[in-house]
Structures are given as structure tokens and as C-alpha cells.
């Protein structure tokens, strides 16, 4: 592309950006500031130079550990904030974003100055102090809380005492009346009936009763009352339904045993008096105690909350500071020290066109810090595979992620994300063609697109987030659906009579007579509305949509296939053009290209006007294989010869595809010891030849140590591998030509299904209400319209839309991308500071600990 | 109205695409060029196929539910 020179930076959309591996020499004094600056720029992907050292042996482990602790403390503060419902003041989040329009002139003024180390130390000390204080306060509160609960429970038991003794006495007496003798003996031996009272969780009440029954052999009287309000449980920190109970029995030994059983079942025992007066006295006393406790608790909570409120104002900015500091040190850990430990050496990938910008940045930074030792940047030659980097914006991002989720494009190969911007929504639209449904979809997408700023800062749920990230995809899907719907002449399954119909019905006829329309012209744009409602309309739309999907599919595949030529040309791999691209192209065009041309040719001939029989294309293509040379119905003169030639060519392409590459490999391989690249990594290898080989040798010494672990394979290609690979490729390619073409028929099936479903929905709901007179008619229209509209949104737009989207996705991943896409790239992940949302962070961390 | 209509429209679409290719905005040029030309191409194809199907149709619409009083 010639125009690229006019733009300052490579757009890096058609191909990924050219990357260079650079070495940075940073004096130790300014290392932290330098990395902090780089973290804000987000243009360098650092390589880990200490990958063999485990994370505990690295240079800045202590710093990271210290910061980890602070982060843990901050997360604890955040949890307390959540617990006490105190909002976290997030501040202007924008300030944490990567500055979007950095210009070279004055970079440093646009960046945040890194907090000084003493500021970080302050953070650390502060956090420790605050944690101590908060923990103390929390403990105090909990203690008071426990006391409060205890007293409250006591109060409940006391209050229930009235009920216990009212009914309990008579019952107990009744129970004991049966054992009057025993009673007498008891009295005589001065053992009185005694009781145990307390509170127990409701779900344990049955167990408790059963155990008591068994242990005491039924020699007891048990009664319990449900407490309406659930009671706060200090142990589990939650509210639990509880019951107050009373157990009558006799004998100290037995009572002891009952107490022990109760306590083992988490019951709390409270002694109450049988005498109502002393009970009410006790109650008064407890109420007094409780009110004291309430005041204490309130004042403690207020102090705690005001403390937390102060923390909530600052916590987020502290957290971001610490997170940045931590990722700075984590990056520093990837660096090497030179021999006398004065300079840090870093290695990383950077887009070539950002190199001068990076240099400017570092120069400005050094001069600002007033250090006279400059940082040095040196570009390295390398044989490592550079990461793939496409410069994306909010529009292209979603489309790129569709492709990236299948595979990251190889370095510098054609990026499938670019054509996907149009082909994906358009293929969708062929299946979803309806102006009304497309309009709804467009409106929904516009809500997201126009309120981008609002949605961007919102905390989105999973589904909403998906819709929001894909807003431009949905917008395009909607727009193209409106276009295809216009061509299908479908708006909510109705038709529009915008142009004069190309068909005319006869003038005079009787009602119920079978009528045939007469052709008077051709409908200029879209399907003629005369077909709408015709008895044989399905016959027509079937044939139309089937041919449409074959032709569109064929063109889509050919278009994709051409990218493989672009790739081979770019990587200067002639053998792939001659041995793969050309025979493949001839094979595909010879069969399916021919079919498509025949379809279009057949349309352009006026068969009825010429008085000839229209040949069936399906039979023609089948006969082309089964009985070459025999033509049942002639489509055009010399058809037999052309077909035999095409068939012969296609058949010839198979051995060509199969043999040429292995043979070529054999000959070139025996001549040159330096193996010629083959098969998969042909592009990688070709690309390496671009880089000057002397430089590789030169720098080998410096980076060899890091090199060998990653590279080294790929050179050992054997002839056998090439043969196997080529056999697979040949079989796959030839079969795929057939199956992929057939696969595009899904366009036909889905669009037909969509049109039918929407017309059925129309006739089953809204249409029923037409012509119904009076109030009933009004009611039916309103209610059936609601039903129709809801079902249209839910079924036709959402469900059908999702299904069509998945089909379109498949057409791209399988049918289109398999034609050219290698997709073994390494994603470019530059070191950049991320804004960490505390809430998600805390949730994640809790999850990690649980797991 | 014939096959030449399709060729004429094709020619127009090509001219529009070329003009846009030259005039495309400088920022995000690749995306603009690819998106607009590809959209035009696909929209043209879709229209052309629809038009061609109806150019020399082999079947005509048929219905028996028309009533004489509603025919214009």
C-alpha cells in the first residue's frame, strides 16, 4: 500500500506492525522511574530474561512481597467498607487510562509523575497502622456484639418464661400426676423437679428432643417456642432462626447431662427463675444493661465508620498507586543486571515505528530527572518470532477479537480481522434479512454506540458486556439486515410495493379461479412483491436463495483464497504459489467457478422467449463427473468439450498439488545443506531470510543464552514430514472445496427459515385480530400486537439472531479462514498499567483463596 | 432492462469504489477502504443476483385467492 507513507504510523491493520527487538540499558538509579514511564506508554513487551530463575530468587522479591501485603491490607479495608455499606470514592478513573494522543513534543508533561519511594513507604506504614487500628476496632465491636446477642437471648428466654410456666406447670403436673408415687418419693427425698432453659438453633430442635428422649428414657418434659426474629450468630456471622426451650427433669446429675447435650448442640443456656416477680426484676436489669451496651456499640460503630469513610475517600487512589508500583517491580524482575550491578539490561519487543518515540521519551525523562547517565536503546537482530500487533480502535476491536479467538494471525500475514468487518455482518444479514428485524437490531446497537461513555464506565453484567463490546458488530449486522431485508422485500414478513411490479394479473376472471401473472418487466431492486402471497412463492424463493448462497459462498471463498496469494507473495515463497496456490485455484474455479458462471449465464438467457428448454444445473454438474462428454440439455454450444477440459484440468490439479512440493523439497534439499523451509513454517522461514543473516551471527553471542530454549526446532524438516503434510493438505483441500461450498447452503436454509418463521408468527398472532369488529377487535389488536411484538423481539431477533450469528461465525472460521489463515502468531502484550477495579479484585482474590 | 443493466451498475460501483479508495480519510485508511469497497461489492452482488433471478424467470406467480372487485 503506497498510502502508508503519508500516515506517520503504520496502520497495522492489513498486516501486523513490524516489530523490533530492542535492548535497553537503564542506569539503576532511574530504573524505577523509567519502567514507570514505560508502563504508562504501553509500547514495549518485555521479555523475561530470568525465566530460569524462580520467582523467589529474583532481585526485587522483597519489594513485591511488601507491596503484596499492602494490597492485602487494602483489600481488607475494602471488605470492611462493603460490610459497613460505605461507598468507595473512585475518583476520576480517566486519569489512570493510557494517554491516548501522545505527541512527541512534550511527552513527560502528559504522563503522571511516579510517586516517590518515600510516598510509597508512607503508604506502607499507613496501611499497617490503619490495619492495626481497624482490626482492634472490629474486634471490640465484635465483642460488644457478642455480649449484646447474649443479653438479648437471655431476655428472650426470660420473656418466654411466662409462657413456659403458664402451660408448663400444668403440663408438668399432669405428666407427673401419672407417676404420683414417684412424685411422692421424690418429695420425700427432697428432690424437686428442676428445669433447664436456653436457646437453640431451630434446625437442631428435633435432634435435641430425640437425644434427650433416648438418654433420659422419656423421663422428661420438653417444650419450645419459636422465636419470630432470627438471631444474629457471632460464630457464623449470619442470622439464624432459633427456638427458646425448656426441659423439665429431676436430679442434678441428669440436669448436668441435659446441659452438656444442649451445649454440644450449640444451645445457649440461661438460668431463669420460676418466680415471675424475680423474672421481671431480672428482665429490668437486663434491659438496663442492654441499653448501656447499645450506646457503647453505637459510639464504637460511629468511630469505626467515620474512620472507614475517610479511608473510602482515598483507598482507590492508594490501591492504584500500589498496583502500579507492584507491576513496575514485577517488570524490573524481568531485567538483567550487568556485571558491576550499575545498569539494568532489558529486552523487549516494540513496534518499529514507535522506536524513535521511545528514544525521545527516555531522553526527556533522563533530562527531567537530572541524571547524567543516559539510557541506551539498541536494536537487536534476532531469529525469534516477533509478536503480532494490530493497531486497533474501538471499532475494529470487536471484529478482530472474533478472529483472534480462533487464532492469532502469524506475524505479518494478512489479518482476517479486516475483511471480517464487512463479511461477517453481511453473511449474517443474508440469513437474517428482514427490514423490521434489522431495524430493531440497529436501534439496540445505537443505544450502545451513542451512549458509549456512559456504558464504558458502568459495571456491566456478562450478557450486557458481551452486547456492549460487540456493539459495532451488532450495528453492522442490523444495517446490512435492513439492506438484505429490503432486497428480500420483507419487513416483519410483509412486503413493500415501492416500485411497479414486473407482473400483471389478468383483467377479468371469476373469484376462485387459478390465475397466472404475465411478465411485463423486471422489478428493479429486490424481489417483486407480486410473489408475496402467491401460491408458488416458496418455489421461487427456494431457487433464488439456493443459488444466491452458492454464488455468494463461492465468491467469499475465492476472495479469501486470494489472500493466500497475497501472503505467499509477501513472504516471497514461490514454491507455495506454484505448487499450492495455482493448482488449488484451478481446481476450485474449474468446478465451482464453472457452476457459478453457469448459474449466472442461465439467468441471463431468455429461455422461454427463445423457446428452448432450460437445462437443470444440478444434473449438469452431476453428469459432468459421472458421464463426462454427454450433455442432456444444452446450456451453450460446445458445452461437452468445455466440460471435459475443465474436468481434466481439475483432475490434473490433484497430482500437481500432491507431488510438486515434495519433489521440489527433495531436489533443493539435497543440493543445499541449509534446509529450505517447507510446509507450515514456510512463512516464518521466508521472513527470516529477510533479516540479514550476518547480523544474526553477530548478535548470537549476546542473546544466544536466551535463544536456544525457544528456537531450534523447525530446521529438522524431513522429506517424510513434507510428504505427509502435503498429502493431508491435498485431500483436505479437494474435499473441502466440495464440503465448504455445500456448507454455504446454510445461508439458504437459515434465510428461508427466518422468513417462514416470521410470516407464521404474523399470521398466528396479529393477523387474527384484523377484521374483528367492535371492542373485541380493539382488545384483540392490542393484546395480539403485544404478543406479536414480544415474540418478534425474543424469538425472531434474539434467538434467530444468535443462531444466524453463530452460523456466520462458522462460515468465517472454517470456510473462509481455512483458505489462507495460518494463525500461529504470538499476541503482542505490551507492559502497560491497568486500572484495577477494587470490587472485582477483591472478589477474584476471595475466589482464589477458596480455590 | 437486461444483463447490461447489471454490467452498468457494476461499472458504477467500481467507479465509486475507486473514487472512494483515493479519497478515503487519512486516519484509519485501510479500514475505511476495505470496509467501504467490500460493503459496496457485497451489496452489489446481492442486488445483482436478485435482479438476475427475475430477469428471465422460468415460473410465474400463481394464485387463486384474488377477487375481481379488488383488482385495480
- For A222-235, write each residue's pLDDT tens digit: 888 888 888 877 77
Count Cβ neighbours within 10 Å for each residue of A762-771 and write b for 16 or more, e otherwise: beebbeebee
pLDDT at A296 over 60: yes
Q: Which of A9-18, A192-201, A724-733 has the lowest mean pLDDT?
A: A192-201
Interface contact flag, B34 A419, Cβ < 8 Å: yes
Interface contact flag, A530 B61, Cβ < 8 Å: yes
Q: How far is CA A522 from CA A482, A502, A722, B54, B55, in A?
A: 22, 5, 55, 6, 6
Contact A23, A355 (CB under 8 A): no
Interface contact flag, B26 A7, Cβ < 8 Å: yes
pLDDT at A721 over 70: yes
- Which residue ranges make up each domain of chain B? 3-55
pLDDT at A71 over 70: yes
Residue A515 is nearest to which of B29, B45, B62, comparing CB atoms?
Answer: B62
Q: Which of A147-161, A184-198, A385-399 has the lowest mean pLDDT?
A: A184-198
| Residues of A in Cβ contact (< 8 Å) with B29 | 3, 7, 11
Interface contact flag, A522 B51, Cβ < 8 Å: yes
Interface contact flag, A544 B53, Cβ < 8 Å: yes
Interface contact flag, B64 A13, Cβ < 8 Å: no
Phi, psi of A347 (to 5 degrees): -130, 140
| Confidence at residue A218, expressed as pLDDT on a 0 to 100 scale | 76
CA distance A212 to A195: 13
Interface contact flag, B42 A522, Cβ < 8 Å: no
Give me the residues paired with residue A130 across strands: none
Q: B20 to chain A nearest CA, in Å?
A: 13
Of chain A, the percentage scoring pLDDT greater than 90 comes to 43
Average pLDDT of chain A is: 85
For A160-178, what is the mean pLDDT?
A: 61
Residue A7 is nearest to which of B29, B55, B61, comparing CB atoms?
Answer: B29
Residue of chain B whose alpha carbon sits nearest to that of A400: B31
Interface contact flag, B42 A6, Cβ < 8 Å: no
Grid coordinates standing for A218?
422419656
Interface contact flag, A421 B27, Cβ < 8 Å: no
Q: A425 to chain B nearest CA, in Å?
A: 10
Could you tell me the pLDDT band of residue A107, with boundaries at 50, 70 and 90? low
| Residues of A in Cβ contact (< 8 Å) with B50 | 487, 525-527, 544, 548
pLDDT at A674 over 70: no
CA distance A347 to A51: 13
pLDDT at A186 over 50: no
pLDDT at A543 over 80: yes
Q: Which of A191-195, A501-505, A597-601 has the lowest mean pLDDT?
A: A191-195
pLDDT at A800 over 90: yes
Could you tell me the pLDDT band of residue A671, with boundaries at 50, 70 and 90? low
Contacts of A802 (CB under 8 A, 6+ apart): none
Q: By three-state DSSP, how is residue A25 classified?
A: strand
CATH class of A149-173+192-300: alpha beta
Interface contact flag, A395 B61, Cβ < 8 Å: no
Interface contact flag, A487 B46, Cβ < 8 Å: yes
pLDDT at A93 over 90: no
CA distance A389 to A13: 9
| Residues of B in Cβ contact (< 8 Å) with A7 | 26-27, 29
Shortest CA distance to A241 belongs to which of A273, A200, A213? A200
Grid coordinates standing for A843?
472478589
* B23 Cβ under 8 Å from any chain A Cβ: no
Grid coordinates standing for A24?
535497553
Contacts of A95 (CB under 8 A, 6+ apart): A112
CA distance A247 to A215: 13
* B66 Cβ under 8 Å from any chain A Cβ: yes
Q: Distance from first CA to last CA of chain B, Å, rounded?
A: 25
pLDDT at A680 over 90: no
Q: B6 to chain A nearest CA, in Å?
A: 10
| Residues of A in Cβ contact (< 8 Å) with B26 | 6-7
Most confident listed range (A11-15, A172-176, A514-518, A556-560): A556-560
| Residues of A in Cβ contact (< 8 Å) with B54 | 502, 522-523, 527-528
Grid coordinates standing for A161?
418464661
Interface contact flag, B63 A534, Cβ < 8 Å: yes
* B58 Cβ under 8 Å from any chain A Cβ: yes
| Confidence at residue B6, expressed as pLDDT on a 0 to 100 scale | 93
* B47 Cβ under 8 Å from any chain A Cβ: yes
Q: How far is CA A497 from CA A341, A524, A531, A806, in A?
A: 82, 12, 11, 33
- Which residue ranges make up each domain of chain A? 25-132+308-347+362-369, 149-173+192-300, 392-493+765-822, 544-670+719-749
Residue of chain B whose alpha carbon sits nearest to that of A559: B38
Q: B14 to chain A nearest CA, in Å?
A: 16
pLDDT at A668 over 60: yes
pTM: 0.81
Complete DSSP assignment for A571-628: TT-HHHIIIIIHHHHHHHIIIIIHHHHHHHHHHHS-HHHHT-PPPPHHHHHHHHHHST
Interface contact flag, B52 A604, Cβ < 8 Å: yes
Interface contact flag, B29 A522, Cβ < 8 Å: no
Q: B12 to chain A nearest CA, in Å?
A: 16
Could you tell me the pLDDT band of residue A105, with boundaries at 50, 70 and 90? low
Q: Which of A356-370, A725-739, B19-33 has the lowest mean pLDDT?
A: A356-370
Give me the residues paired with residue A827 across strands: A388
| Residues of A in Cβ contact (< 8 Å) with B42 | 422-423, 426, 552
Interface contact flag, A537 B68, Cβ < 8 Å: no
Strands A19-27 and A231-233: unpaired
Residues in chain B: 72
Could you tell me which residue, A851 or A320, shows the higher pLDDT? Answer: A320
Mutate to test the interface with B, among A479, A522, A597 (most CBs of B within 10 A): A522
pLDDT at A709 over 70: no
Q: B18 to chain A nearest CA, in Å?
A: 14
Interface contact flag, B62 A507, Cβ < 8 Å: no
| Residues of B in Cβ contact (< 8 Å) with A600 | 52
Interface contact flag, B28 A13, Cβ < 8 Å: yes
Residue B54 is nearest to which of A6, A426, A502, comparing CB atoms?
Answer: A502
| Confidence at residue A184, expressed as pLDDT on a 0 to 100 scale | 52
Size of interface A-B (CB pairs under 8 A): 149
Q: By three-state DSSP, how is residue A132 classified?
A: helix
Residue A535 is nearest to which of B51, B63, B68, comparing CB atoms?
Answer: B63
Interface contact flag, A13 B31, Cβ < 8 Å: yes
| Residues of A in Cβ contact (< 8 Å) with B51 | 522-525
| Confidence at residue A706, expressed as pLDDT on a 0 to 100 scale | 46
pLDDT at A175 over 60: no
Could you tell me the pLDDT band of residue B68, with boundaries at 50, 70 and 90? confident
Residue A528 is nearest to which of B54, B58, B62, comparing CB atoms?
Answer: B54
**Which ipTM value was assigned to this complex?**
0.96
- What digits encode the pLDDT tens for the residues A742-769? 999 999 999 999 999 999 999 999 999 9
Residue of chain B whose alpha carbon sits nearest to that of A614: B58
Residue B26 is nearest to which of A6, A526, A552, comparing CB atoms?
Answer: A6
| Residues of B in Cβ contact (< 8 Å) with A1 | 30
Interface contact flag, A421 B57, Cβ < 8 Å: no
| Confidence at residue A2, expressed as pLDDT on a 0 to 100 scale | 38
| Confidence at residue A705, expressed as pLDDT on a 0 to 100 scale | 42
Interface contact flag, A514 B64, Cβ < 8 Å: yes
Grid coordinates standing for A153?
437471648
Residue B67 is nearest to which of A6, A511, A530, comparing CB atoms?
Answer: A511
Grid coordinates standing for A818?
481455512
CA distance B54 to A101: 53
pLDDT at A193 over 60: yes
Residue of chain B whose alpha carbon sits nearest to that of A508: B68
Q: What is the phi-psi region of residue A91: left when phi exceeds 0, alpha when psi lies from -120 to 50, beta otherwise?
A: left
| Residues of B in Cβ contact (< 8 Å) with A536 | 59, 61-62
pLDDT at A1 over 70: no
Could you tell me the pLDDT band of residue A101, with boundaries at 50, 70 and 90? low
Amino acid at each position: 500500500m503506497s498510502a502508508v507513507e503519508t500516515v506517520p504510523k503504520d496502520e497495522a491493520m492489513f498486516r501486523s506492525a513490524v516489530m523490533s527487538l530492542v535492548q535497553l540499558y537503564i542506569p539503576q538509579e532511574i530504573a524505577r522511574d523509567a519502567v514507570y514511564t514505560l508502563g504508562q506508554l504501553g509500547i514495549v513487551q518485555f521479555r523475561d530474561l530470568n525465566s530460569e530463575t524462580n520467582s523467589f530468587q529474583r532481585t526485587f522479591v522483597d519489594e513485591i512481597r511488601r507491596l503484596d501485603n499492602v494490597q492485602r491490607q487494602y483489600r481488607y479495608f475494602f471488605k470492611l467498607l462493603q460490610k459497613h455499606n460505605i461507598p468507595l470514592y473512585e475518583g476520576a478513573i480517566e486519569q489512570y487510562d493510557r494517554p491516548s494522543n501522545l505527541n512527541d513534543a512534550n511527552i513527560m508533561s502528559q504522563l503522571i509523575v511516579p510517586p516517590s519511594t518515600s510516598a510509597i513507604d508512607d503508604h506502607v506504614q499507613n496501611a499497617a497502622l490503619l490495619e492495626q487500628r481497624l482490626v482492634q476496632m472490629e474486634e471490640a465491636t465484635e465483642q460488644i456484639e457478642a455480649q449484646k446477642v447474649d443479653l438479648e437471648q437471655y431476655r428472650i428466654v426470660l420473656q418466654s418464661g411466662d409462657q413456659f410456666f403458664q402451660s408448663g406447670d400444668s403440663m408438668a403436673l399432669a405428666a407427673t400426676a401419672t407417676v404420683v408415687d414417684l412424685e411422692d418419693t421424690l418429695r420425700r427425698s427432697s428432690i424437686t423437679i428442676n428445669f433447664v432453659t436456653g436457646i437453640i438453633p431451630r434446625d437442631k430442635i428435633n435432634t435435641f428432643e430425640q437425644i434427650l428422649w433416648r438418654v433420659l428414657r422419656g423421663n422428661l418434659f420438653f417444650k419450645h417456642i419459636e422465636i419470630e426474629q432470627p438471631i444474629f450468630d457471632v460464630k457464623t456471622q449470619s442470622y439464624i432462626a432459633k427456638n427458646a426451650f425448656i426441659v423439665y427433669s429431676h436430679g442434678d446429675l441428669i440436669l448436668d447431662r441435659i446441659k452438656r447435650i444442649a451445649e454440644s448442640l450449640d444451645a445457649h443456656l440461661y438460668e431463669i427463675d420460676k418466680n415471675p416477680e424475680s423474672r421481671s426484676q431480672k428482665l429490668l436489669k437486663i434491659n438496663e444493661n442492654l441499653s448501656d451496651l447499645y450506646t457503647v456499640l453505637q459510639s464504637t460503630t460511629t468511630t469505626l465508620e467515620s474512620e472507614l469513610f475517610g479511608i473510602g475517600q482515598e483507598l482507590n487512589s492508594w490501591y492504584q498507586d500500589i498496583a502500579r508500583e507492584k507491576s513496575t517491580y514485577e517488570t524490573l524482575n524481568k531485567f538483567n543486571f550487568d556485571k558491576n550491578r550499575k545498569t539494568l539490561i532489558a529486552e523487549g519487543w516494540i513496534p518499529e515505528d514507535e522506536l524513535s518515540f521511545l528514544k525521545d521519551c527516555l531522553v526527556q525523562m533522563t533530562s527531567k530527572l537530572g541524571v547524567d547517565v543516559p539510557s541506551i536503546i539498541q536494536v537487536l537482530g534476532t531469529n525469534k518470532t516477533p509478536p503480532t500487533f494490530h493497531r486497533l480502535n474501538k471499532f475494529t476491536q470487536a471484529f478482530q477479537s472474533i478472529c483472534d479467538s480462533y487464532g492469532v494471525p502469524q506475524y505479518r500475514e494478512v489479518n482476517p480481522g479486516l475483511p471480517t468487518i464487512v463479511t461477517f455482518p453481511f453473511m449474517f444479514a443474508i440469513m437474517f434479512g428482514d427490514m423490521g428485524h434489522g431495524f430493531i437490531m440497529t436501534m439496540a446497537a445505537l443505544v450502545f454506540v451513542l451512549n458509549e461513555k456512559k456504558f464504558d464506565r458502568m459495571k456491566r453484567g456478562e450478557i450486557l458486556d458481551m452486547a456492549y463490546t460487540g456493539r459495532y458488530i451488532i450495528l453492522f449486522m442490523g444495517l446490512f439486515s435492513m439492506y438484505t431485508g429490503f432486497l428480500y422485500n420483507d419487513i416483519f414478513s410483509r412486503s413493500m410495493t415501492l416500485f411497479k411490479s414486473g407482473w400483471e394479473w389478468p383483467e377479468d376472471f371469476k373469484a376462485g379461479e387459478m390465475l397466472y401473472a404475465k411478465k411485463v418487466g423486471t422489478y428493479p431492486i429486490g424481489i417483486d412483491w407480486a410473489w408475496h402471497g402467491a401460491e408458488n412463492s416458496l418455489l421461487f424463493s427456494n431457487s433464488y436463495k439456493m443459488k444466491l448462497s452458492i454464488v455468494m459462498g463461492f465468491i467469499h471463498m475465492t476472495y479469501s483464497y486470494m489472500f493466500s496469494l497475497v501472503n505467499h507473495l509477501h513472504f516471497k515463497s514461490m514454491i507455495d504459489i506454484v505448487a499450492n496456490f495455482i493448482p488449488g485455484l484451478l481446481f476450485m474455479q474449474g468446478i465451482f467457478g464453472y457452476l457459478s458462471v453457469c448459474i449466472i449465464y442461465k439467468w441471463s438467457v431468455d429461455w422461454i422467449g427463445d423457446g428452448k428448454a432450460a437445462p437443470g444445473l444440478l444434473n449438469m454438474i452431476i453428469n459432468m463427473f459421472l458421464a463426462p462428454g454427454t450433455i442432456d440439455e444444452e446450456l451453450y454450444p460446445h458445452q461437452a468439450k468445455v466440460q471435459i477440459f475443465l474436468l481434466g484440468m481439475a483432475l490434473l490439479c490433484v497430482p500437481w498439488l500432491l507431488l510438486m512440493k515434495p519433489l521440489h523439497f527433495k531436489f533443493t534439499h539435497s543440493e543445499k545443506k541449509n534446509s529450505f523451509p517447507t510446509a507450515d513454517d514456510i512463512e516464518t522461514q521466508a521472513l527470516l531470510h529477510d533479516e540479514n543473516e550476518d547480523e544474526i551471527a553477530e548478535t548470537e553471542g549476546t542473546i544466544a543464552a536466551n535463544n536456544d530454549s525457544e528456537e531450534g526446532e523447525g530446521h529438522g524438516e524431513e522429506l517424510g514430514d513434507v510428504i505427509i503434510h502435503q498429502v493431508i493438505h491435498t485431500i483436505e483441500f479437494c474435499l473441502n472445496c466440495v464440503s465448504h461450498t455445500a456448507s454455504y447452503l446454510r445461508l439458504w436454509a437459515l434465510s428461508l427459515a427466518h422468513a417462514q418463521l416470521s410470516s407464521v408468527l404474523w399470521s398466528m398472532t396479529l393477523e387474527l385480530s384484523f377484521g374483528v369488529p367492535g371492542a373485541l377487535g380493539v382488545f384483540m389488536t392490542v393484546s395480539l400486537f403485544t404478543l406479536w411484538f414480544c415474540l418478534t423481539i425474543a424469538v425472531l431477533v434474539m434467538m434467530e439472531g444468535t443462531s444466524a450469528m453463530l452460523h456466520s461465525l462458522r462460515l468465517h472460521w472454517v470456510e473462509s479462514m481455512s483458505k489462507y489463515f495460518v494463525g500461529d502468531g504470538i499476541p503482542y502484550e505490551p507492559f502497560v498499567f491497568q486500572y484495577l477495579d477494587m470490587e472485582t479484585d477483591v472478589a477474584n482474590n476471595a475466589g482464589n483463596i477458596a480455590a | 432492462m437486461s444483463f447490461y443493466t447489471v454490467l452498468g451498475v457494476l461499472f458504477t460501483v467500481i467507479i465509486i469504489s475507486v473514487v472512494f479508495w483515493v479519497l478515503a480519510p487519512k486516519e484509519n485508511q485501510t479500514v475505511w477502504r476495505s470496509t467501504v469497497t467490500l460493503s459496496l461489492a457485497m451489496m452489489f452482488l446481492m442486488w445483482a443476483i436478485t435482479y438476475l433471478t427475475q430477469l428471465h424467470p422460468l415460473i410465474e406467480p400463481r394464485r387463486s385467492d384474488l377477487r375481481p372487485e379488488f383488482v385495480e
